[in-house]
A and B are shown apart, each in its own frame.
Chain A
Amino acid sequence: MHGGDAMSRLVLVGLRVGLGVIFLWATVTKVPDMAAFAQDVANYRILSPVLVPYAAAAVVGIEIVTGIALVTGVVARPAALLAAALLVAFTGFVAQALLRGIDLRCGCFGGDERASWWTIGRDLLMLAAAIAVATAGERHPRRNPPLAV
């Protein structure tokens, strides 16, 4: 294996594990108060009130599964694609709220962090990492199929 390949593979593994840890950390901050997270979701004013608690619980579950898959490297590519889809949705939700002038907590990592353009920038960075991990298997199908550690 060439040095450059080893380095790029190491970077991709770092991105995958880092992204997984961030997703798992996001769930750790939400699980202690799921009711508050559901309220944060409701404040985006996108979903019907009846769907809000289900969506909040589902998002946390999907984040757990995605985080574990990314950290362990099992089904890493589908997990990276799912992470990218989630991040696109999160970015869209925050952007529409900011454009509508709605002042709200982003609900990203629990606490009182307010949604801002910085939140969108951070989501886009994570989205870039997710896309890099998801496409890596396609660029090197034989050498680097699951991006396992």
Chain B
Amino acid sequence: MATSLQVALLCVAGALLGIAGNRFTPHPAPLGAGVVASAEQPGAVCEDPRASIARISVEEAKPLCIACTATFIDARSAQEYAAGHVTGALHLAPGETVEPLLPTLRSAAMVIVYDRDRECSAANQVAAQIQAQGMRDVRVLTGAWPEWLARGGPGESGACGSCTAGTR
């Protein structure tokens, strides 16, 4: 039998086995129902129940910003930060060094990281960088910058404090 035919038969047999056997597994994949990406589920921007970094909602984070009891980190680009950011937020993009911000971060009870997109991938990376420095309470803001704006969270614009002066 030609090898290509054997490959095709193996592939089809395996696919049929997997689809037929799915129902006998403890938690089967929902055949017949669509499965969308976690970040595209309604009301689930940046929400991921299995994420390694804890989440915090805009509603929970707003009072902490107003009371200055949390330090906010903006993980977007420097240009986006300059155009507008959470009031008092510091700028730290993925891959940039955390050291200049450490004195401020170490004095904060909580660090809240945000970016702009539904996956919060930049915020996740920056939050992991900060956690690696020994910070215990580091959260990623669900809803990201768009929801912060939409819900009237305090914001300001200006140059990147972390780039110009090290800390705000």
Q: Which residues of A contact B (CB under 8 A)?
A: 31-39, 41-45, 48-50, 52-54, 56-66, 69, 75, 77-79, 81-82, 85, 101-105, 112, 114
Contacts and interface: CB of A to CB of B under 8 A. Distances in A.
Interface in B1-48: 3, 6-7, 10-11, 13-22, 25-39
Given A33-B27, A38-B29, A61-B17, A102 B119 contact: yes
B14 A62 contact: yes
Interface of A is mostly: helix
30 contacts: A34-B27, A34-B28, A36-B50, A37-B29, A39-B35, A39-B38, A41-B35, A43-B37, A44-B37, A45-B37, A49-B34, A49-B36, A50-B34, A53-B30, A54-B19, A56-B29, A57-B19, A57-B31, A58-B19, A60-B22, A62-B10, A62-B14, A62-B18, A65-B14, A69-B10, A82-B10, A82-B11, A101-B121, A102-B121, A114-B52
Nearest to A137: B3
A116 to B, nearest CB: 11
B11 A52 contact: no
A86 B10 CA distance: 12
Contacts of A63: 14
Contacts of B17: 61, 64-65
7 pairs of A and B residues whose beta carbons are closest in the complex:
A61-B18, A49-B34, A62-B14, A103-B121, A65-B14, A78-B6, A58-B15
A42 B3 contact: no
